[in-house]
Structure 1
Amino acid sequence: MMLKLSLAAVALSASMYAGSLSFESGAIKAHTEVFGDNTIDPVTKKATSHLSMDANPTTLKGSIEISMNDLYSDNKKRDEHMQDVLESSSFPKAVFDVKDVVAKSGDNYTLKGTMTFHGVSKAMNFEGTITEEGGKVRIKATSSMKISDFGVKPIKMMFLTVRDQVDLNVDISLKR
């Protein structure tokens, strides 16, 4: 009987640390370049979290998605062109599905998963930190991808071609 009560207490306390994580705030930024303009930095401050995590960050699982229509930069005309090139009406979301989180040192982790972008899914890793304080989980991580790997031709502007590599910077806060 005492063993059953102890197991029930452990299960109850573990469930207090488990659960869904909803997007609260933050930004997901993309950066690329073209000669003469190094400020092509579309960003979104909206995301949908389908993530869950127990007490340890290595238990983080699920996915996070953004709407391509929520990406914007400092140039509306360029944003309209970006939406056309990315075919956001046909491929409205980018989704990162977390498959495994590997502890490195301290709060540093590698998030291994699959990125689905423009209808193509590819293995991808993010490097960064995962911290928790006051019922909020903060993920700060970076990665890069080639848009051509996802079937998107690098954007051309006049006689210049935008760099194929896009650097991603995630800084989000999730609440339990």
Structure 2
Amino acid sequence: MKRLIGAALCGMLMMGIAGADTLKVDKTRSRIQVDGRSTGHGFTGTLEEYTARVSGNPVTLRPDAFELSWKFTDLKTEDEKRDKEMIKWLGGGSPTGTFKFIKTWEQDGKDFAQGTISIHGVSKLIAFPYTVKKDGDWVSIDGVATLDYKDFGLPIIRAVAVMTVNPKLTVRFHLVGKL
């Protein structure tokens, strides 16, 4: 009987450890940024508001779910004119984007994630390296993904006949939260 009780307690503990925990993202400690290059200079846009739902195994730090949604009106480049032109370029109104996690794997000692990103009504599969660190109840998730905005049916951005925005964009994220 003692063995049965011990096995049952051990099983319950293992289920508790292996279960998914939800990460409550602290936006004051987190950032999502997009780096762009145009003829003669670079710029960074910072996503000021977004919704992130993240859950995963607190022991292995492997994600079970990661969903991100945002409005492009919340992507600020510190140039109000550029921000307004971006919204026009995206079709006007209140354009949105989403990312939904599909899977992870390890390759050459690095962790990679794969998911579907949707921008301008077009969905694409992307993969990128990421890291997860845990310090007490705090967890930080970092990653970098490269996108080509032409893949989303968006035209090359040209201005004043000589300035062109490179279609390759770099998305950097640093999400911090408590389990």
Residue 68 (str. 1) matches residue 56 (str. 2): no
Offset of 1:88 from its aligned partner?
A: 5.4
1:114 & 1:148 partners in 2: Cα distance? Answer: 16
Residue 58 (str. 1) matches residue 70 (str. 2): no
Question: Does structure 1 retain, via aligned residues, the 8 Å contact 2:87–2:95?
Answer: no
1:19 maps to amino acid: D
Q: Secondary structure at the match of 1:41?
A: strand
Match of 1:139 in 2: 141
Offset of 1:65 from its aligned partner?
A: 2.0
- Listed one character per residue, the Cα deviations across residues 72-114 of structure 1 (whole Å, up to 9, x for unaligned) are 012111111111112352532x2121111223466x4111111
Distance 1:118 1:174, change over 3 A: farther
Q: Secondary structure at the match of 2:105?
A: strand
Match of 1:103 in 2: 106
2:35 & 2:18 partners in 1: Cα distance? Answer: 39
1:103 maps to amino acid: E
Question: Does structure 2 retain, via aligned residues, the 8 Å contact 1:48–1:64?
Answer: yes
Distance 1:85 1:19, change over 3 A: same
1:81 & 1:45 partners in 2: Cα distance? Answer: 18
1:6 & 1:110 partners in 2: Cα distance? Answer: 32
Aligned pairs for 1:123-138 (under 5 A) are 123-138=125-140
Deviates more, 1:6-15 or 1:128-137: 6-15
2:146 & 2:121 partners in 1: Cα distance? Answer: 18
Question: Does structure 1 retain, via aligned residues, the 8 Å contact 2:116–2:125?
Answer: yes
Distance 1:9 1:149, change over 3 A: same
Distance 1:37 1:5, change over 3 A: closer
Please, which runs of 5 or more residues in structure 2 have no aligned partner? Answer: none
TM-score after normalising by structure 2: 0.85
1:47 & 1:132 partners in 2: Cα distance? Answer: 23
Which of 20, 23, 30 does residue 21 from structure 1 map onto? 23
Please, which runs of 5 or more residues in structure 1 have no aligned partner? Answer: none
Identity of aligned residues (%): 22
2:130 & 2:111 partners in 1: Cα distance? Answer: 6
Offset of 1:136 from its aligned partner?
A: 2.1
2:94 & 2:77 partners in 1: Cα distance? Answer: 21
How many pairs does the alignment contain? 171
1:145 & 1:99 partners in 2: Cα distance? Answer: 17
1:91 & 1:79 partners in 2: Cα distance? Answer: 12
Which of 67, 80, 89 does residue 93 from structure 2 map onto? 89
Offset of 1:66 from its aligned partner?
A: 2.2
2:78 maps to amino acid: D
2:140 maps to amino acid: R
